[in-house]
Structure 1
Amino acid sequence: MGEQLSFDLPVRAALGRNDFYVAPANAQAVAMIEDWQGWPSRKLVLVGPPGAGKTHLTHVWATLSGATIIAATDLAMADIAGLATGPVAVEDADDIAGDQAGEEALFHLHNLTLAEGHSLLLTARNAPNFWSLTLPDLASRMQATTLAHLRAPDDTLLAALLMKLFADRQLSPNPEILPYLARRMDRSFDAARSVVAALDATALSEGRPITRAMAAKVLDNMAE
């Protein structure tokens, strides 16, 4: 029998507060997002590895505060004065390191947003002292910003993340699959996304539901 035709359905990430599982690895960051009106100097840098939930929490904060979300790499072409009329979230702020126009735009956005009495959230993979910013005034302001960390997941958080990633793809695997995967896969958010994507593709290709045996096969293939 030939391989079954697979149809890639849209992956719609659930980004509401109720979709975010709170665990020791992220509890501090969640608490700071929810208590955003108490941020020192009205600004916060949310730090964590790719897939850790930075974008999810950014959307949660935008819902709470009414903030506008913008990618750091879009700042150089943005209307900084217009953005600064309300709270602003800048995603992947470390991506503009060494980009003079981008760094200057972030510097002006930082100063104007705070001067207007609004709050500023920034996300990045690492703390600002590792960003290699070339604009000294921006570097000093970023390094003086309070940090909230999203840590590496424990088994409970990893299982919850897997559940969410499956749900985003409209998949409902047997509950035993989640702890099985969490115990055997690389302990990272990127690995969770890769495993779920591979299982989704395999299930579509083979035309059968996700099973423990399929999970074992996918993990073995990814380890090769």
Structure 2
Amino acid sequence: MNSTMDDYSFCISNQGKDDQCKDKKEEQLFLSFPRYCGMSRDDLLTHNSIDPAIRLIDSWPFWPSPVVILVGPSGSGKSFLASVWSAKSKSTRLDNISKSLDSILIDTPKPVLLEDVDRLDFSDTKLFHIINNVYQYDSSLLMTARTLPVSWEVRLPDLCSRLQAATVVKISVPDDDFLEKVIVKMFADRQIFIDKRLATYIVQRMERSLVFAEKIVDRMDDLALSRGAGITRSLAAEVLKEVQQCD
């Protein structure tokens, strides 16, 4: 995730969805307001589920090994941390290593970021070359994944050895306390200051995911702005119900 102006439309109307979901989708088309999402180091909230990863990002370039892998479930904050590190290191982002590699990646010492490795249909040989490039130039490679490297379908023995030598940092599922702080902060970033009890109400009824939390906050903000109303518990209940119906 980058520091960009984002619009979130998460109530997607596909064939087979009920009419209410379709109505919400049509409403959403008129209620999508641009917003700035803070993704800098200062926006990171500390918590025991993510602190080891934050410390590692902060310690760059003095890493214990040239290759670091952040492992955690979807919505645990991996992309946020990767974005912070990428801005700090001025890394090159690789979106798909199954495509042809640009020769500059082999010949320069620039740090490299590769996200969601376990979901890519990657070439063992190409990933091995990227890692070797990092070692050759004493550079850095940050990878993110939902699963540990041992579960990846790697067949090249040399690549297996390189991955075994990497530093792996696990990020756990966000707990309620952390998600409540995140929701309070997301609203505060929009100059909206809510009671912690409202954040607790939302967290107790939502999926344990930072991405999901952001969608809920965005939708509540959109509806409140469109109606000229405040951020209330009843609005939270409406949005939570809407999301459950449309997912």
Q: Which shows bigger deviation, 186-195 or 112-121?
A: 186-195
For this pair of structures, how many residues does the alignment match? 217
**Relative to total residues, which structure has the larger helix share, 1 or 2?**
1
Query: 2:158 aligned with 1:131, yes or no?
Result: no
Paired residue type of 2:60: W
User: Distance between the aligned counterparts of 1:49 and 1:219, measured in 2?
Assistant: 22
The residue that corresponds to 2:194 in the other structure is 174
The residue that corresponds to 2:129 in the other structure is 108
User: Distance between the aligned counterparts of 2:57 and 2:38, measured in 1?
Assistant: 17
Q: Which shows bigger deviation, 122-131 or 173-182?
A: 173-182
The residue that corresponds to 2:33 in the other structure is 9
User: Distance between the aligned counterparts of 2:29 and 2:166, measured in 1?
Assistant: 51
Q: Given the two structures, how large is their TM-score scaled by the length of structure 1?
A: 0.81
- TM-superposition CA deviations, 1:24-74 (whole Å, max 9, x none): 110111011111233233221011222222222122222333322222x15
Q: Which shows bigger deviation, 6-15 or 24-33?
A: 6-15
User: How well do the aligned residues superpose, as a CA RMSD in angstroms?
Assistant: 2.8
Partner SS state of residue 38, structure 1: coil
Work out whether residues 173 and 209 of structure 1, in 8 Å CA contact, stay in contact via their aligned partners in 2. no
The residue that corresponds to 1:203 in the other structure is 224
Query: 2:141 aligned with 1:117, yes or no?
Result: no
Which stretches of structure 1, 4 residues or longer, exceed 6 Å deviation after superposition? none
Query: 2:209 aligned with 1:188, yes or no?
Result: yes
Shift, 1:172, TM fit? 1.9
Structure 2 unaligned spans of 5+: 1-26
Partner SS state of residue 68, structure 2: strand
Partner SS state of residue 195, structure 2: coil
**Equivalent residue for 2:72, pick from 40, 45, 48:** 48
Paired residue type of 1:38: F
* C-alpha spacing 1:153/1:133, structure 2 compared with 1 (3 Å): same
User: Distance between the aligned counterparts of 2:179 and 2:203, measured in 1?
Assistant: 6
The residue that corresponds to 2:161 in the other structure is 140
* C-alpha spacing 1:12/1:185, structure 2 compared with 1 (3 Å): same
Q: Given the two structures, how large is their TM-score scaled by the length of structure 2?
A: 0.75
Shift, 1:167, TM fit? 5.6
Work out whether residues 91 and 124 of structure 1, in 8 Å CA contact, stay in contact via their aligned partners in 2. yes
Paired residue type of 2:48: P
Shift, 1:85, TM fit? 2.1
Partner SS state of residue 185, structure 1: coil
Identity %: 36
**Equivalent residue for 1:35, pick from 55, 59, 71:** 59
Shift, 1:158, TM fit? 0.3
The residue that corresponds to 2:118 in the other structure is 94
Paired residue type of 1:219: L
Q: Which shows bigger deviation, 126-135 or 103-112?
A: 126-135
User: Distance between the aligned counterparts of 1:20 and 1:140, measured in 2?
Assistant: 33
Work out whether residues 73 and 146 of structure 2, in 8 Å CA contact, stay in contact via their aligned partners in 1. yes
**Equivalent residue for 1:61, pick from 55, 75, 85:** 85
Paired residue type of 1:130: S
